[in-house]
Amino acid sequence: MSGDLWGHYAKIDGEYIARMEDLLDLYTEPSDP
């Protein structure tokens, strides 16, 4: 049971990290004044 739970958490973490990286890419892009 705990193994199944870890599987769900790993999937959520992967998606969360991918989204955060996308957001960081947006924020680090040079903005035109």
For residue 25, CA distances in Å to 2, 8, 12 come to 34, 26, 20
Please give the Cα distance from 19 to 25 (Å, whole number): 10
- pLDDT tens readout for residues 1-33: 566 777 777 677 888 889 989 999 988 877 766
pLDDT of residue 3: 66
Looking at the domain assignment, is residue 16 inside a domain? yes
pLDDT of residue 21: 92
Looking at the domain assignment, is residue 8 inside a domain? yes
State whether residue 29 is helix, strand or coil. coil
Looking at the domain assignment, is residue 17 inside a domain? yes
Please give the Cα distance from 29 to 33 (Å, whole number): 12
- Tell me the residue range of the domain where 4 lies: 1-28
pLDDT of residue 4: 78
pLDDT of residue 30: 76
Looking at the domain assignment, is residue 20 inside a domain? yes
For residue 13, CA distances in Å to 9, 17, 28, 31, 33 come to 6, 6, 22, 29, 35
* pTM beyond 0.75, yes or no: no
Looking at the domain assignment, is residue 33 inside a domain? no
Query: How many separate domains does the chain show?
Result: 1
